[in-house]
Chain A
Amino acid sequence: MFNTYDPGDFYDELFVSRGVPRPEAELLVQRISNISIDELMLRQQMAQNMLFKLGVTFNVYNDNQGTERIFPFDVVPRVVPSEEWQWLERGLKQRIETLNCFLDDIYNDQKILKDGIIPREVIESATGFLKPCLGIKPPKGIWCHITGTDLVRDRNGNWYVLEDNLRCPSGVSYVLENRRVMKGAFPALFEALNINPVDAYPSQLLASLLHLAPDTMPDPQVVLMSPGIYNSAYFEHSFLAQQMGIELVEGRDLVVADGYLQMKTTKGLKRVDVIYRRIDDDFLDPLTFRPDSMLGVPGLMDVYRQGRVAIANAPGTGVADDKMVYSYVPDMVRYYLGEEQLIPNVPTYLCENAQQQNYVLGHLDELVVKATNASGGYGMLVGPHSTDPERDAFADQIKANPRGYIAQPTLCLSRVPALINSEFQGCHVDLRPFILHGEDIYVNPGGLTRVALKKGSLVVNSSQGGGSKDTWVVAATAS
């Protein structure tokens, strides 16, 4: 069992060294050790079956075998001590507040450009920067209502922000469902440990959305807009709509009529006041963005500009997801809040800069190269795990489109034991907490721990064969 588990030369989230658990994980390790490995495998299987039965599935693009899979689930939770969590929470709030200031500024006064903190070309060349959003003042001044920020730890256990996801971050349904399944599989652990509950998320989300409707409106109509059942995150769309008790709509259910956004019902048209959209900016409105979009609603942006409907997240937030813009976040924190960034960025080389590009091209075998406008683990090169032809191909792409790429040192991500083939193996993890910007900023305690279940792999995305774990924020002094 755990006595044969070797944390190796990594930062292990549960163990200080072989056989020595971290204080916050002591009770957990002890309890798990009391369960036979067969019993654990059985419970893991039960949990997987339950997720499959619940239909907690995602679709994988470009994959011909069956469209739905469950996100593999590992029963060993990841533990974050509550003091550490409080610090992370402060850091995340600081970051979201900053990015919201940035978005409001960049689409209105552009002071940060005028003051020369960020070069204008960086913003204007970002694919997520949407000119049609210039001059828009979204309701209550909020742009990024829902964010999933990706955090990682290095070999020494230091935390970094790896990516900001301000468009349509997904994964929160796994946080909620994983917790439900864990409670069913290990009720005694939940009795013994003081674990922060995560269940408030849907009601917090609904409150944030209702906050966007005009204060005088008695019963605002809030809807969740999904691209439909073939979207990879459809389960989550449906789950959240159900948990919040709001309508799940698709573009074809909506129409602009009489100057308002309306939905088609069996009793006629009905006005919509707030949209939680889970569809990319480009597809929102074929009259403003991609004309070939079948998923959006013609005329939606006009209604939005006139302040007759609120959209969360606001169109245009994708500019903050750009990986080159990301490298300026420390400057933004200083500029807007007059503070130093609490959770640091991962050092980033900008390929657009000739000197830095040279360094990147010379060290492709050590670095991780990412496309500045991509997410979900698509369009990246993990240097140490790459082949010569792959590196050559990336080198060509970088030279052809330097603005399109950044590079970062390959972090040796922290690990958590996972139950694989009847034994514990150390697997690399990241963490995506979910942050809501409503009247206040709320951080759901914990977040989605994604785990790279392929041996040695550093890529944790669900689309790339990753799995997930429950994340427990617990008091270190639990007895």
Chain B
Amino acid sequence: MLSRVANSIYWANRYVERAENVSRFVDVNLNLLLDTPMGTMQQWEPLVVTTGDQALFKERYGEATAENVLKFLTFDAEYPNSIRSCVKLARENARSVREIISSEMWEQLNEFYLQVEDAAKSMDMSKLYAFYPEVKNASHMFAGVMNATMSHNEGWHFGLLGRYLERADKTARILDVKYFILLPSLAAVGSPLDNLQWIALLRSASAYEMYSKCQHMINPRGVVDFLVLNPEFPRSIRCCILEAEKSLHKISGTPAGSWRLSSERRLGKLRSHLEYITLEEIFEIGLHEVLDRLQDDLNHVGSAITENFFGLPVLA
């Protein structure tokens, strides 16, 4: 398949997944606020910090008020990682490969785009509670439609690869939000409020119910174990890496467990890292540090994929 086409399907999926996840971690915070006792300081800054785009935010908005942060992450057309920009970019990518993907996929994404643009025009902040779940649904719909209407061919696997790498990265960031919220008061660890925050976090990853089936107590170790190391929950980092690796090997034809391309080697290394690391080690190194490194590794995998498949091919 054309390198450009593979690249577009990969990015269309990444951007849809990114939009979904931005709305997920904004949603965690909105929900946390509902449960926060009156008088506690609202914390919006951590959301901006986790995006890594703090400087840009400061420059354009100044203070991290609820409204500023929500606008920035949701509707800012000039901020490339806002929900609005992500959906727009996803659509642009899909538009350039309309003849490769199914019409249903395109129609769904086009509707998604029109829906977000409508919301962006009205900028009605009171509707945001309903808006974020809609974004999540639209993203699920896209994944479902793609699964049900597109041949599970090379292009489909590029889409999956993009989606899972993005999701792994964003689950790491969602965990990081909690880390930053906790920072100001280490004493709060284990408090009732702390517990509420972990529950909200699990819910934001749609993980609360599945978590409860595995463990009864909500505590940091349990949550980290579930969201980082669980091999079956589809939003856990390890599960995403396993799925991404499957797709990568389907694309390249290299047998599982071996590597030929740099992207296969990097992703394989990351997978085995997650397979062999223990919870004790994670907390010894520090959760934030582990998540940070994970994100770095994911970036390297992304560059290797670009080099292996989207640039001028090195094979053949």
Contact = CB atoms under 8 A, between A and B. Distances in A.
B106 A229 contact: no
Contacts of A241: 99
Interface bracket on B = 20 to 34
Contacts of B251: 266
Interface string B76-107: 00000000000000001001111110010011
A253 B3 contact: yes
A55 interface: yes
Given A53-B110, A55-B106, A267 B99 contact: no
Nearest to B92: A229
A265 interface: yes
Given A229-B96, A266-B251, 11 more contacts: A54-B103, A55-B95, A229-B95, A253-B3, A253-B4, A264-B3, A265-B1, A266-B309, A266-B310, A267-B313, A268-B313
A263 interface: yes
A268 B253 CA distance: 14
Given A229-B92, A229-B95, A247 B316 contact: no
Contact of B316 (A54, A253, A267): A267
B130 interface: no
A228 B98 CA distance: 12
Contacts of A267: 1, 313, 315-316
Interface of A: 53-55, 228-229, 234, 238-239, 241-242, 247-250, 252-253, 255, 263-269
Given A54-B103, A253-B2, A266 B111 contact: no
Contacts, number: 65
Contact of A266 (B1, B103, B106): B1
Contacts of A228: 96
B154 interface: yes
Contact of A248 (B99, B107, B158, B315): B99
B2 A238 contact: no
B6 interface: yes
Nearest to B316: A268
B277 interface: no
B312 interface: yes
A27 to B, nearest CB: 33
B3 A238 contact: no
B111 A53 contact: yes
Contacts of B316: 267-269
B6 A266 contact: yes
Given A55-B106, A55-B110, A267-B315, A242 B98 contact: yes
Contacts of A269: 313, 316
